[in-house]
Every structure is written in C-alpha cells, then in structure tokens.
Amino acid sequence: MKKLTQIIPEDLQDKIKKEKFPEWISPTLATLTHERFSDENWVYERKLDGQRCLVFKKGKKVDLYSRNQKKLNKRYPEITEAFSMQQEDFVADGELVAFDGDKTSFSMLQQRMHSNNSGGNVRVYFYAFDMMYCNGYSLEKLPLRERKKLLKKAVDFNDPLRYTSHVNKDGEKYADDACTKGWEGVIAKDAEAPYAHSRSKKWLKFKCEKSQELVIGGYTEPKGSRKGFGALLVGFYDNGDLHYAGKVGTGFSDEILEKMHQKMKNIESKNNPYAESDIKVKNVHWLKPKLVGQFQFTEWTKDNRLRHPSFMGLRDDKKAQKVTKEQPA
C-alpha cells in the first residue's frame, strides 16, 4: 500500500498527524445564503439532491452512515461493495443520489431510503467530495483543495463511485448555469478551510428555487416560544377543487407571524377546505380559502407536495379561485 506521505507535498506534511482509524467524524453542514459571489479562493460544486453519506473504509470492512449515524449498508449494497474493493483505508464524505433523466431526484431516491432492499430498478451513485482520513493520517487540517486532490488519488472512481468536480472563481456564472439546467443549486466552499464538524459558513448553499402563488387553507398552533402560528397549510385549485400541497413553516418574521395570525383568525372555519379529507396534521385551524401567498420551493413531488417551501409574502392581486399549479413551458 502506498504511504500517504508519498503523495502529499512536503510543505503540507507538517499539517497532518498520525491517528487511529476514527469511529466517527461529524460532518460539515453548509449554510444557506441568498447572496451569490465569485472568489478565486473558493471552489463551487454542484448541489446534489440526495442523501448525505459518510464512508468508513478499513481493509475490506465498509460502513456507510447517514449524517445522524444511521447505518446505510443494507439499503445500498452496491455502494458498499464498490468501496470494499478499494485499496486504501479512508474516511470520505459525499452524497448518495438517484437520477431522473440527467437530474438528481430526491423523489427517486426515496424508493431506496425507506427500505432495506434494492429498491427495484432505481440505480444509486455515490458522489465523493471530501476526504478526512487516509492510511493512518488525519487530513482534517489540510485545506479543502488539497483534501480533494488526495481524494481523487486515493479512490478508484468507477460507477457507482463518482468524484464531485468543481469550478474555480466563477461562482455566480456557475450558479446561473446550474439553475438554467434545473439543478438544485451550488455549494460554495472556502478552498483554504479545514474540515469542520458543524454547520459552517465556509460551506455555503446557493439554491435554485421555484416560486408560485398558493391558497392558504389553514394554520397550525405555534410551539415553544414561536408567536402567532406554527405553519401554513397551502394548496391550489384544479377543476374547481382546492388540493392540499403541504405545510410551510419558514420565511416568517415575528411581525409577519403576528399580523398574519390576526388576519387569519377573522376567516377561520370549522370545515377543511381541501378535497383531501385525510390530511394528517395536528392542531389545525381551518380557514375560508381567501388568502393567497407567494411561496418559493425546490420542486414539486410526484404526489403534488412542495419540497423545501418558504413563505415570501401575501398577494392581493389574484383571487384564490384563480390559483392553479403552474406548469413549466
């Protein structure tokens, strides 16, 4: 086995140290930002819409873990097998994804995420983007750019294992291109930063989000110290019926929570306004379907639910009965 020090430049060798194979390494979590930028000291990777996964590979033994330490080997046996054939010992960070055409699809991956079998014909790939340990050495203090170079050398990337490429400098253009292609977004990473073990502003999310107006048909009680209400229940009209599209619990300031709560209390109803009678949400106050809001989200699921929705504001320029699900051209 090739010693790690033989492939690390001499000027970086004093930044690594020998360590026992780790039992666990808490992953770096990216922070959402709405401000895109370009910087030659940062790298920009495609944001993959899948399941975060850490790989602990020692000899022939491979353990796949979710970010909350749930073991994933039985769900993704082909990924486990592919890593077991690698020569080096390492801990790597990446994303498990499935594709719908040329786009990563969280909905497709669901068939594998909630079962301990092959999930039918859904193929899964592991996109590696970082390496924190290799052949007896901790790499966490090395700059990200150097860790990615070592990752590319240490792992034999053939399907279903893939290396997550990046671009330098042109973060804004890359993000624009990502949104045009229908990707989920871009992850911007400080190329000189060490590996963190918590949510970090050295990793930032540039998300591509869709938006449209939706009817507000109910709200839930607030929890803890939150004011006003907890979440909105929203929907759209189709053939005269109001259809449920999910809950929205983010995007509200304290002022908006209180003002909207007062507005909604005046139009409360005893009746569920949605065509779906089996909405499994507790502590709901139903509303007469009069209010329309603007919401942003990442995608529609196959059962017409919003994924990652956020409130943008109320609208008074469109009647509720005119609100339908917007279809791409």
User: Which residues does the annotation mark as catalytic?
Assistant: 47
Q: Is the peptide bond before 160 cis (omega within 30 degrees of 0)?
A: yes
Report CA 92 to chain centroid distance, whole Å. Answer: 18
Secondary structure, 3-state, the chain = CCCHHHCCCHHHHCCCEECCCCCCCCCCEEEEECCCCCEEEEEEEEECCCEEEEEEEECCEEEEECCCCCECCCCCHHHHHHHHCCCCCEEEEEEEECEECCEECHHHHHHHHCCCCCCCCCCCEEEEEEEEEECCEECCCCCHHHHHHHHHHHCCCCCCEEECCEEEECHHHHHHHHHHCCCCEEEEEECCCCCCCCEEEEEEEEECCEEEEEEEEEEECCCCCCCCCCCEEEEEEECCEEEEEEEECCCCCHHHHHHHHHHHHCCEECCCCCCCCCCCCCCEEEEEEEEEEEEEECEECCCCCEECCEEEEEECCCCHHHCCCCCCC
